[in-house]
A and B are shown apart, each in its own frame.
Chain A
Amino acid sequence: DAGVTQSPTHLIKTRGQQVTLRCSPKSGHDTVSWYQQALGQGPQFIFQYYEEEERQRGNFPDRFSGHQFPNYSSELNVNALLLGDSALYLCASSRDLSYFEQYFGPGTRLTVT
Chain B
Amino acid sequence: GIQVEQSPPDLILQEGANSTLRCNFSDSVNNLQWFHQNPWGQLINLFYIPSGTKQNGRLSATTVATERYSLLYISSSQTTDSGVYFCAVLNSGGSNYKLTFGKGTLLTVNP
Query: How far is B30's CA from A81's CA once the two chains are assembled, in angstroms?
Result: 35
Q: Residue A33 contacts which of B42, B96, B99, B101 (CB distance < 8 angstroms)?
A: B99
Please give, as numbers and ranges, the residues of chain A lying within 8 Å of B103 by CB-CB distance.
Answer: 41-42
Chain A 77-113 interface residues, beta-carbon cutoff 8 Å to B: 88, 90, 92, 98-107, 109
Chain B residue numbers with a CB within 8 Å of A55 are 95, 97
Contacts of B100 in A (CB 8 A): 45
| Interface residue count on the B side (C-beta < 8 Å) | 25
Determine the interface band of chain A, counting residues with CB < 8 A from chain B: 20 to 34
Bits for B85-107, please: 1 = Cβ < 8 Å to A, else 0: 01010101001111111111000
Cβ-neighbour of A107 out of B42, B90, B96, B99 (below 8 A): B42
A35-87 CB contacts (< 8 Å) to partner B:
35, 37, 41-45, 48, 50, 55-56, 58
* Across the A-B interface, the 9 shortest Cβ-Cβ residue pairs: A42-B101, A99-B30, A45-B98, A104-B43, A98-B97, A101-B48, A99-B31, A107-B41, A56-B97
